[in-house]
A and B are shown apart, each in its own frame.
Chain A
């Protein structure tokens, strides 16, 4: 396999491209399905931030625990959770990742150590610390990665968890996806510490690093580096990926609090077309990219079709999976 600049093989880059495109198309279709009433509740789109999920998951070990927030489709898809299971979950179908009980904000796949999307800002942080504690307690060679947005910086659970994880040298990667907005307000209005948020981590003696979240190769490299440090037993690391969501906070949000100029300047750095151009520059035949694009289109069509045709949960599922007894009663 030929090596490209920065040591990526062509196959790796093509796979990055495929995954980022998969997330992009998945969410575009999810948005469409939301407008048609097929998807209910809240739908928070990750569009614009795909390079983070894809670069990160590629750099992690399958045994590592992933804990994330409610903007979780990108992480789930990049982790390899089947798109049809996620789409079915969005549709509230029994074939979904949580049998239709969780919806967009609560994607789980424990078989892939994807330990859930958590919909209370900051609530996921100590849970990741606990998973890291269990790994260390059992002498397992794995770490926990917890994604959170800049809004979480102002939650008590953020500070409590960084403090505890640092004291106990827990193998956890605190992964800030800084898209500059917590719902509709800017980080400048809501966080007193300034744009250098790494100080929030270094204050607790957790090493910190920043990465361009719009560049999948750089994300991959940074995650490789910082996880190597964590795996050596040095305790937690704080990684800040700078990014931007191209859409509103949720489907109901036209994002009027941001200027069109700001959005346009970030969209110029859209990771999906950027990587496409890079691949063409590397003399990857256009037909090869188009084959990937068609494959993604087909996968998403199949995911929507699968979700649409899947059955609703049985009414008896209302009482299922609430307590151990209710599970064993239905499982046995």
Chain B
């Protein structure tokens, strides 16, 4: 199986879509001449030309809103919001319009649009450029929120997103672009709402998304040295949310820790905890535990930033304090 980076997997998915369907076009800030602020679309302008690779002004609302209209007009836009922090400037278009058109028009109009954006912290960008806001969008009916953790998943999920008939928010973690992984050569897609069991175990279930899946896997390595076998689940999509896979695992392990990079207050994992306890209450041997980002604006200093984001250490501590493993 060929190996590639997360960035190359996304680029491969975009290339396939551009090659396969003339109705697909890209639109966003500095995606053309600059090559994309995370270099995902480098070379695209030269290959596909300015009609299909459209550099926009820094106007997030107009970018997303124009995408909504273009999708209603029969195109399949892929809009890039440079980071999820800037999506707040387009929230009206995303929440009030993109996901409402189908319902308000009784299904006569719809918006097949993929919104690619970059999420997550840990790169020293401080309060306004380090947020994990994907969980907010996951509360909105009609929205799909995708958040892969591996190159293979990124490609498979992007292919699914590009086939979807409704708006998809596709969140790429900033610190994962350079990570490598095996990607199947044969065509495949990954359905939304299907979590991945990243590691099998019988003693405790660890649940995460994006970079937190990697934190959970490292914690599982540590636990294994003590003879505790942790099962690690990668949610892959926050909406639809795969409660079933997590609940099934918890019925087996009787213990569960959910990890979010997003602020702990209102994190999507806290809702997942509620759903899992509904499904698996009588099998629980401990309260479902949750850790999330500290409830602080992300600080700049390295040591403070590290304290604000869940790490292998905080995962192990939570397992000990809250669950007793």
Contact = CB atoms under 8 A, between A and B. Distances in A.
Give the interface residue-count category, chain B: 35 or more
B3 interface: no
Interface stretch (A113-121, A193-201, A239-247, A294-302): A113-121
Contacts of A106: 104-105
A28 interface: no
A152 to B, nearest CB: 12
A102 B59 CA distance: 28
B44 interface: no
B123 to A, nearest CB: 28
Interface in B61-118: 61-75, 77, 89, 92-93, 96-97, 101-110
Nearest to B167: A323
A327 interface: yes
Given A102-B105, A106-B104, A127 B68 contact: yes
Given A102-B104, A129-B69, A321-B102, A115 B109 contact: yes
A322 B141 contact: yes
B66 A130 contact: yes
Nearest to B60: A160
A128 B73 CA distance: 10
Contacts of B165: 323-324
Interface in B43-61: 51, 54, 56-57, 59, 61
Most buried by B among A157, A163, A320: A157
A132 B68 CA distance: 11
A110 B164 CA distance: 20
Contacts of A99: 106
B166 interface: yes
Interface in A95-137: 97-99, 101-102, 106, 108-111, 115-116, 118, 120, 122-123, 125-135, 137
A116 B74 contact: no
Given A106-B104, A127-B97, A137 B51 contact: yes
A36 interface: no
B54 to A, nearest CB: 8
A129 B106 contact: no
B104 A123 contact: no
B69 A157 contact: no
A320 B74 CA distance: 22
Interface in B102-144: 102-110, 141-142, 144
A49 B96 CA distance: 27
Most buried by B among A110, A135, A164: A164
A233 to B, nearest CB: 15
Given A127-B68, A133-B73, A324 B57 contact: no
B177 interface: no
B102 A327 contact: yes
Interface in B140-175: 141-142, 144, 164-166
Contacts of A120: 92, 96-97
Contacts of B59: 160-161, 163-164
Given A160-B57, A322-B141, A126 B68 contact: yes
B6 interface: no
Interface residues of A, number: 47
A156 B164 CA distance: 30
A118 B57 CA distance: 24
A127 B68 CA distance: 6
Contacts of B103: 101, 321-322
B25 interface: yes
Contact of A144 (B69, B93, B110): B69
B74 A323 contact: no
Most buried by A among B75, B96, B107, B110: B107
B65 A129 contact: yes
A156 B91 CA distance: 12
B67 A118 contact: no
A98 B100 CA distance: 12
A320 B70 contact: no
Contacts of A97: 106
24 contacts: A65-B73, A101-B104, A101-B106, A108-B104, A108-B109, A115-B72, A118-B97, A120-B92, A120-B96, A126-B61, A127-B66, A130-B67, A133-B75, A134-B70, A134-B75, A137-B75, A157-B62, A160-B59, A161-B65, A163-B62, A321-B107, A322-B142, A323-B102, A327-B107
Interface of A: 65, 67, 97-99, 101-102, 106, 108-111, 115-116, 118, 120, 122-123, 125-135, 137-138, 144, 156-157, 160-161, 163-164, 167-168, 320-324, 327, 331
Given A131-B70, A137-B51, 14 more contacts: A65-B73, A67-B69, A108-B104, A108-B108, A115-B72, A130-B65, A133-B66, A144-B69, A160-B59, A160-B62, A321-B106, A322-B102, A322-B142, A323-B144
The 7 tightest CB contacts between A and B, nearest first, are A130-B69, A126-B65, A134-B73, A160-B62, A324-B165, A160-B59, A108-B105
